[in-house]
Amino acid sequence: MILVVGLVLVGSQLLTGPTVQKDALIADIIKNWQDAHPAAERFLILSDFHDEAVLDKDTGLIWEIAPQTTTVTWNEARVTCTKRAIGGQRGWRLPAPSEMRSLVGPAVDSPIPNIPPGHPFLNIQPTSYWTVVPEANQPSYAKYVDAFLGNVLSFLRIYTYPVWCVRGPLPSPTS
């Protein structure tokens, strides 16, 4: 609740305040988010997975430490995760949009994805990543998450993005 109120106040300030004040407010939001979610406490590289997977203690999800760098279509992405044996373990899948967004902090103008500083992940690409959710109203579209801003968007399933596989409880259908 405090975060929501803070964002509303910041939003109103951003619309009315000068650019310098706006930049300071954005920097403060990002610093507060990073302080509340320090990577050193949040992420744990899992030796049981041969150090090829990371537990996110905030969400309970297990992420592959090094997402593939090649881009594939949405259908190929789903198959890729299903076939993966990361750290000798099977049971991987594409993340839900809410799961993917849990790795991306507040929007920031940056040339690199906005993953918490000090994170243990390797090969993070400066792009977007596929999610498991097809677009309900447009059968030829599927959802992806912009790794810079955390926006959930839809695009043609034949377009290519990289894949970042996850393990953990399945989210609700509306996630």
pLDDT recorded at residue 7: 43
pLDDT recorded at residue 84: 94
Structural domains of the chain, count? 2
pLDDT recorded at residue 102: 85
How far does Cα 124 stand from its chain's mean position? Answer: 10
Whether residue 114 sits in one domain with residue 30: no
Whether residue 103 sits in one domain with residue 131: yes
Whether residue 57 sits in one domain with residue 122: yes
pLDDT recorded at residue 100: 87
Q: What's the CATH number where 120 sits?
A: 3.10.100.10
In a domain, 175, yes or no: no
pTM: predicted TM-score of the whole model, two decimal places: 0.73
pLDDT recorded at residue 138: 87
How far does Cα 144 stand from its chain's mean position? Answer: 10
Encode pLDDT of 88-128 as tens digits: 999 999 999 889 888 876 555 566 667 777 899 998 888 88
Write the DSSP symbol of residue 5.
H
CA 174/CA 171 separation, integer angstroms: 8
Under 8 Å between Cβ of 54 and 63: yes
Which domain range does residue 18 map to?
A: 1-36
Residue 120 neighbours by CB distance under 10 Å: 16
Under 8 Å between Cβ of 168 and 64: no
Which stretches of the chain drop beneath a pLDDT of 50?
1, 3-16, 175
Whether residue 145 sits in one domain with residue 68: yes
Contacts of 120 (CB under 8 A, 6+ apart): 39, 43, 45, 54, 65
Q: What is the 3-state secondary structure (H, E, C) of 33-82?
A: HHHHCCHHHHEEECHHHCCCEEEECCCCEEEECCCCCCCECHHHHHHHHH
Whether residue 71 sits in one domain with residue 27: no
pLDDT recorded at residue 10: 44
CA 125/CA 103 separation, integer angstroms: 14
